């Protein structure tokens, strides 16, 4: 869709109707008709927050939706990872174990596990359902700022990433 303008006014009906509204109605002059592309959908500005999830005591530094979009994991400066049920908007589990800011969270492709890492240089793997600690991966010498799982379609047959 396009918006057409004649002499800084939008053409909303016919070209003849827009031409008749011009002050100088000479038929001998060149008229510049300018067009602007329009968005297919109307974008409205956000004027208010529709929902918030209260629970962390410090700033939330990272968040990730589960693969099924039913849960959200958030990592915070309060050294915790929270698992949220998005249908009820309530915290399901609080995962404690980090000794520094949590800078990244990443769900496994099947949603069964969650990895978190941060300023303490440790990657922790949590159960995606219960929030229980499954393991800790140590060895980094600096803060871990991102984490990613192997895609499910790349894993060998019968093995989870």
Helix (H, G, I), strand (E, B) or coil at 89: coil
pLDDT grade for 67, boundaries at 50, 70 and 90:
very high
Q: What is the mean pLDDT of residues 63-76?
A: 95
Indicate whether this model's pTM tops 0.75. no
Q: Is the pLDDT of residue 123 over 90?
A: yes
Question: In 13-122, where do the E strands start and end?
Answer: 33-37, 60-65, 71-76, 80-85, 90-96, 102-107, 113-118
Q: How big is the chain, counted in residues?
A: 161
How far is Cα 63 from Cα 45, in angstroms, rounded to an integer?
23
């Amino acid at each position: 869709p396009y918006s057409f303008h004649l002499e800084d006014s939008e053409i909303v009906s016919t070209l003849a109707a827009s031409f008749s509204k011009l002050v100088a109605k000479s038929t001998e002059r060149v008229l510049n008709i300018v067009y602007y592309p329009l968005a297919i959908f109307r974008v409205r500005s956000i004027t208010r927050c529709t929902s918030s999830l209260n629970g962390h005591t410090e700033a939330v530094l990272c968040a990730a939706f589960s693969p099924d979009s039913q849960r959200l994991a958030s990592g915070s400066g309060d050294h915790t990872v929270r698992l949220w049920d998005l249908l009820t908007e309530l915290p399901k589990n609080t995962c404690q174990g980090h000794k520094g800011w949590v800078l990244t969270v990443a769900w496994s492709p099947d949603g069964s596990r969650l990895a978190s890492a941060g300023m303490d240089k440790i990657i922790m793997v949590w159960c995606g359902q219960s929030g229980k600690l499954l393991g800790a991966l140590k060895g980094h010498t600096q803060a871990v700022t991102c984490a990613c799982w192997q895609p499910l379609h790349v894993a060998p047959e019968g093995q989870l990433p």
